[in-house]
Amino acid sequence: MIDIDFERLRALGLHAAMAQAVQQLIADFASRTPEFADQDWQLMRVCTVHRDRLQVHDGVSERSAIPLPRLIKQHALDGTSIAVGDWVLTQTPEPDRCCIHAVLPPVTRINRRDADGSRHAVVSNVDTALLVMGLDLDFSLRRLERYLALVQGSGVWPVVVLTKLDTLGDTAWARSERLVDIARQLRERLPPEVIVHALDARSPEVAQDLAPYLGLGQTLVLLGSSGAGKSTLTNSLAGMGLQDTGPVREHDSRGRHTTTARTLLPLLSGACLIDTPGVRSLRPDADVQTLSASFTDIQALAGQCRFRNCQHVNEPGCAVLAQVAGDRVRNFHKLKREMQRDQQTPLDRQRELARWKQIGRAGHERAKMKRGE
Ligand SMILES: Nc1nc2c(ncn2[C@@H]2O[C@H](COP(=O)(O)OP(=O)(O)OP(=O)(O)O)[C@@H](O)[C@H]2O)c(=O)[nH]1
Ligand SMILES: [Zn+2]
């Protein structure tokens, strides 16, 4: 039996569709194992993932929980894992033992890839991703494009939040001049529908600036490199010193990784905020088609290239090379190469490695022949 207190869980980000899915899941369980119907179930949201246990929230308080071995085994087989933001079905057979029996299929999920191509869940059931970047040396258009590619196709709405507006110049005039220049760069590089905010993350006014994403039942995730100002933003939105913040190194504006785990935090506004540890280079989990959706300008211009199979590298009459910023095209190629590599099967990788070895050996032989050895 499950008694879902929708109002209480709404402030934890529960949507009506998800509440319905829970009832369906319980009915499925009960049809397979009738005694399940008589047991007490709780619907909880994962707020922190540690190596061996998780923290789950029921809308009132937080507690530790462990997934059942069956669930761990199933995730290992599927190559998936439980992520912060997931909704889980739990039972508490003893006061100190909370067990996770099932994970609800997420409505949205952001995944990333490791260098070896393996997939990892970053967060689940998020409505908006705030792509946080400092207007100091942290500012990088390439990284913004990478973050957009990461979020593209996940069902999450990306919003760019540029912090450290106050450091942009000594006077209001200097700041506005720099800002105009940055706005021009962003216009060239970001899809027009992406909203950009520039703010001082320490200011209490950030809650007003970001109000459209902070409504009741909304879940936001902060993504950005260490020192970008994610924890500062979290504190300003929560209205108190919740997260540790750390100074950045002056020579490169990098932070010191103050945030160590992804954490979901219910805000007074009724929204939930997920802060993540800073990562400079998140590798998107996407295919080339999804990537093209983040580079619609390239996709649109490709039709005007002289050659139908133009790769936009160095072909004559390439409309993309002629009209899109060179750095953006290079970044597109780099992300595309990463994605093509990630989609290879282990067998493809072995074949590719063998091919490169063969090319290397042939080069070596040619060099030896040239030297007359
Ligand atoms: N002047 C100014 N300083 C800021 C702003 N945002 C963040 N900072 C400072 O930048 C430093 C790093 O900020 P954090 O919020 O700790 O950065 P973070 O993104 O959470 O970093 P990690 O936890 O390491 O991922 C702190 O000293 C903040 O006070 C801003 O808008 N203006
Ligand atoms: Zn072309």
Question: What's 212's domain CATH number?
Answer: 3.40.50.300
Same domain flag for 125 and 274: yes
How far apart, in whole angstroms, are the C-alpha atoms of residue 369 and residue 373?
A: 6
Residue with tokens 């409504």, as numbered in its chain: 215
Binding residues for GTP: 163-166, 224-232
Q: How confident is the model at residue 255 (pLDDT cuts 50, 70, 90)?
A: low
User: Which range marks the domain in which residue 91 is found?
Assistant: 6-103
Closest residue CA from atom 26 of ligand 1: 247
How far apart are the CA of 311 and the centre of ligand 2, in A? 5
For residues 209-217, average pLDDT:
93
Average pLDDT in the chain: 85
Same domain flag for 205 and 268: yes
Lowest pLDDT segment from 55-69, 110-124, 167-181: 110-124
CATH number at residue 336: 1.10.40.50
Q: Residues with Cβ within 6 A of ligand 1?
A: 163-164, 166-167, 200-202, 224, 226-232, 245-248, 255-259, 277-278
Same domain flag for 266 and 308: no
Same domain flag for 83 and 114: no
Cα of first residue to Cα of last residue in the chain, in angstroms, is 81
How far apart are the CA of 310 and the centre of ligand 2, in A? 4
Closest ligand to C-alpha of residue 307 is: 2
Q: Is residue 361 part of a domain?
A: no
246-250: list long-range contacts, CB under 8 Å, 24+ apart. 248/134, 248/136, 248/138
Q: Is residue 360 part of a domain?
A: no
- Indicate whether 160 pLDDT > 70: yes
> Residue 326 burial (CB < 10 Å; 0-12/13-18/19+)?
exposed
Same domain flag for 129 and 271: yes
Q: Ligand 1: which of 166, 226, 245 to mutate, most ligand atoms within 8 Å of CB?
A: 245
Ligand 1, residue 276: give the atom nearest the CA. Answer: 25
How far apart are the CA of 268 and the centre of ligand 2, in A? 50
Same domain flag for 174 and 262: yes
Q: Is residue 370 part of a domain?
A: no
- Indicate whether 257 pLDDT > 60: no
Instruction: Determine the pLDDT at residue 3.
Output: 74
- Indicate whether 260 pLDDT > 90: no
Same domain flag for 62 and 28: yes
Cβ(44)–Cβ(67) under 8 Å?
no
Q: How confident is the model at residue 65 (pLDDT cuts 50, 70, 90)?
A: very high
Closest ligand to C-alpha of residue 300 is: 2
- Indicate whether 183 pLDDT > 80: yes
pLDDT in tens, 263-306: 898 888 889 999 887 666 677 887 878 888 889 999 999 999 99
Here the ipTM equals 0.96
Number of domains present in the structure of the chain: 3
Closest ligand to C-alpha of residue 201 is: 1
Q: How confident is the model at residue 5 (pLDDT cuts 50, 70, 90)?
A: confident
Same domain flag for 331 and 237: no
Ligand 1, residue 165: give the atom nearest the CA. Answer: 31
Q: Is residue 359 part of a domain?
A: no
Instruction: Determine the pLDDT at residue 341.
Output: 79
Q: Is residue 79 part of a domain?
A: yes
Same domain flag for 213 and 338: no
> Residue 179 burial (CB < 10 Å; 0-12/13-18/19+)?
middle
For residues 364-371, average pLDDT:
83
Ligand 1, residue 257: give the atom nearest the CA. Answer: 24
How far apart are the CA of 205 and the centre of ligand 1, in A? 16
How far apart are the CA of 313 and the centre of ligand 2, in A? 7
For residues 337-345, average pLDDT:
78
Q: Is residue 195 part of a domain?
A: yes
Closest ligand to C-alpha of residue 256 is: 1
Same domain flag for 88 and 232: no
Same domain flag for 168 and 211: yes
How far apart are the CA of 227 and the centre of ligand 1, in A? 5
Question: What is the model's pTM?
Answer: 0.82
Binding residues for Zn(2+): 305, 310, 312, 318
**Domain endpoint, select from 80, 103, 126:** 103
Instruction: Determine the pLDDT at residue 242.
Output: 46
Binding residues: 163-166, 224-232, 305, 310, 312, 318
Lowest pLDDT segment from 41-50, 295-304, 346-355: 346-355
Same domain flag for 275 and 151: yes
